[in-house]
């Protein structure tokens, strides 16, 4: 029983370590190649494979790889070089990731190969006026050691008002004229439908970056079609959420295929999606996700994956943000749910703790609350999750 429970609670990193162990052992004698690429992967071709496919990022006309690299945790130059070799060309970062070190690491890794990369970073319009936003981008460019980025994005727009502020457009147009940014976008974690629809309506935004997965098909899917019709590019994050949750619950027992690869293939079967970004700090994760894009999806297995996800959707956090603003004590439930994903799914305890401790209000009040006012449309036991988060991350 203990072993079964341990198997079901594997993080993706643990899962991959077990899967790669035999192959790595078989090639251990070839280690120490100098490139930083483990021998188990170094044998593969180091040029872009035909399997990487590209889509147009809306009106930008940029041709982006279907799989993009997120850099919340990814800073290993050898991993980034390998991503480029495999044909990945879209890289997403932010000024706050790892206290700015994400931008620094990405810039160092892309030195000499900048022409092969499409780089997106983020700013915080709620914290700065137009002058401050311009300074923010200048800071990002300095850390990146670049003279421009292709895409600047609002970091975590939470309501329609966040995307309608005139100073965002003022700062963007100033930076665009200076050649420091080319296109304007936003990311969103909460109230995603309203945020994206407001962004589309303004006509200011060239791309949107929502969380989307097999959990959110009915709610987010139609808005992606609206974005496509408006020629707005669609970048997807958090695509692996159902795979993380399903493995934790043991929901994929007996199913064929790899749930992490199927989660990516599920998102990419939507022609309205331009690219899906995944944080891949290890070679194992990179190779696994690349294979999901390079290999045609098995439609029968993908249908089984979708059915399995539907079976455990109730009671699972969809990262939909519907809980945003509901707590009368100011506990930021949606953010804490996301930080739990970093801890449980990514296996990144340090990052989860750091982000949790940045919150203005922790989940500590939940332990003394007589009745939780937060209502999750998916039936997640919010109070229990908040109490767990406070124990793990405070």
* Domain-embedded: residue 131: yes
* Domain-embedded: residue 325: no
Distance CA 175, CA 171 (A): 6
Same domain? 36 vs 107: yes
Name the least confident of 155-169, 237-251, 311-325.
311-325
Same domain? 245 vs 100: yes
208 vs 348, higher pLDDT: 208
Please check whether residue 284 is in contact with residue 23, taking contact to mean a CB–CB distance below 8 angstroms: no
For residue 1, what pLDDT is reported? Answer: 41
For residue 321, what pLDDT is reported? Answer: 78
Same domain? 285 vs 172: yes
* Domain-embedded: residue 6: no
Dihedral of alpha carbons 372, 162, 270, 346, sign:
negative
Q: What is the DSSP string of 328-354?
A: TT---HHHHHHHHHHHHTS--HHHHHH
Same domain? 165 vs 238: yes
Please check whether residue 224 is in contact with residue 212, taking contact to mean a CB–CB distance below 8 angstroms: yes
Confidence check: pLDDT of 311 > 50: yes
Using alpha carbons, select from 6, 7, 15, 12 the residue that is nearest to residue 345.
12
Q: What is the mean pLDDT of the chain?
A: 88
Same domain? 302 vs 338: no
Q: For residue range 171-185, what is the model confidence (pLDDT) as tens digits?
A: 999 999 999 999 999
Last residue of a domain, one of 276, 310, 344: 310
Same domain? 373 vs 248: no
Q: In the structure encoding, which two tokens stand for residue 329, read together?
A: 């004590």
For residue 22, what pLDDT is reported? Answer: 42
Confidence check: pLDDT of 363 > 60: yes
Name the least confident of 9-13, 222-226, 315-319, 336-340.
9-13
Distance CA 66, CA 68 (A): 6
Name the least confident of 86-90, 101-105, 338-342.
338-342
325 vs 118, higher pLDDT: 118
* Domain-embedded: residue 35: yes
Highest average pLDDT, of 175-189, 311-325, 345-359, comes from 175-189
Same domain? 107 vs 253: yes
What backbone torsions phi and psi does residue 375 show, to the nearest 5 degrees? Answer: -110, 115
For residue 39, what pLDDT is reported? Answer: 54
In the predicted model, what is the mean pLDDT of residues 291-318? 92
Q: How many domains does the chain have?
A: 2
Last residue of a domain, one of 251, 276, 310: 310
* Domain-embedded: residue 282: yes
**Can you give the CATH number for the domain in which 235 is found?**
3.20.20.100
Distance CA 339, CA 343 (A): 6
In the predicted model, what is the mean pLDDT of residues 105-127? 96
Q: For residue range 71-85, what is the model confidence (pLDDT) as tens digits?
A: 999 999 999 999 999
5 vs 116, higher pLDDT: 116
Same domain? 246 vs 356: no
Residue 64 parent element (H or E) = strand 63-65
Q: What percent of the chain has pLDDT over 70?
A: 87
Please check whether residue 67 is in contact with residue 274, taking contact to mean a CB–CB distance below 8 angstroms: no
Q: How confident is the model at residue 8 (pLDDT cuts 50, 70, 90)?
A: very low
Q: What is the pTM of this model?
A: 0.85
* Domain-embedded: residue 173: yes
Same domain? 108 vs 68: yes
* Domain-embedded: residue 104: yes
Q: In the structure encoding, which two tokens stand for residue 167, read together?
A: 């100073």
In the predicted model, what is the mean pLDDT of residues 258-270? 97
Last residue of a domain, one of 310, 344, 378: 310
Same domain? 136 vs 47: yes
Q: How confident is the model at residue 13 (pLDDT cuts 50, 70, 90)?
A: low
Same domain? 234 vs 91: yes
Name the least confident of 34-48, 119-133, 188-202.
34-48
* Domain-embedded: residue 379: yes
Give the residue numbers spanning the domain of 219: 29-310
Confidence check: pLDDT of 67 > 90: yes
Same domain? 142 vs 263: yes
In the predicted model, what is the mean pLDDT of residues 86-99? 95
């Amino acid at each position: 029983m203990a072993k079964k429970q341990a198997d079901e609670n594997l993080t993706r990193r643990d899962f991959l370590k077990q899967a790669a162990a035999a192959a790595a052992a078989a090639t251990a004698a070839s280690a120490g190649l100098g490139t930083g690429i483990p021998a188990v992967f170094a044998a593969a071709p180091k040029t872009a494979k035909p399997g990487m496919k590209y889509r147009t990022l809306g009106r930008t006309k940029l041709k982006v790889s279907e799989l993009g690299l997120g850099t919340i945790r990814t800073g290993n130059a050898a991993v980034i070089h390998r991503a480029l070799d495999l044909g990945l060309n879209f890289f997403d970062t932010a000024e706050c990731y790892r206290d700015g070190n994400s931008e620094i690491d990405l810039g160092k890794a892309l030195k000499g190969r900048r022409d092969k990369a499409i780089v997106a970073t983020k700013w915080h319009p709620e914290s700065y006026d137009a002058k401050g936003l311009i300074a923010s981008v200048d800071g990002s460019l300095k850390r990146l050691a670049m003279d421009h980025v292709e895409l600047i994005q609002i970091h975590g727009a939470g309501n329609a008002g966040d995307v309608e502020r005139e100073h965002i457009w003022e700062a963007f147009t100033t930076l665009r004229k200076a050649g420091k940014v080319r296109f304007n976008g936003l990311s969103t974690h909460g109230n995603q439908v309203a945020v994206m629809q407001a962004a589309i309506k303004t006509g200011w935004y060239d791309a949107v970056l929502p969380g989307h997965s097999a959990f959110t098909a009915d709610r987010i899917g139609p808005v992606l079609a609206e974005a496509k019709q408006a020629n707005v590019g669609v970048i997807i994050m958090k695509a692996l959420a159902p795979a993380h949750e399903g493995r934790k619950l043991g929901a994929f027992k007996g199913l064929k295929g790899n749930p992490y690869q199927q989660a990516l293939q599920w998102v990419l079967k939507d022609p309205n999606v331009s690219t899906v970004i995944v944080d891949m700090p290890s070679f194992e994760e990179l190779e696994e996700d690349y294979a999901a894009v390079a290999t045609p999806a098995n439609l029968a297995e993908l249908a089984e994956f979708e059915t399995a996800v539907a079976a455990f959707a109730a009671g699972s956090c969809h990262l939909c943000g519907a809980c945003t603003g509901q707590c009368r004590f100011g506990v930021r439930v949606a953010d804490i749910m996301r930080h739990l994903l970093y801890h449980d799914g990514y296996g990144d305890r340090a990052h989860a703790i750091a982000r949790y401790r940045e919150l203005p209000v922790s989940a500590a009040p939940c332990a003394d609350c007589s009745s939780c006012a937060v209502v999750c449309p998916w039936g997640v036991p919010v109070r229990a999750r908040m109490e767990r988060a406070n124990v793990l991350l405070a």
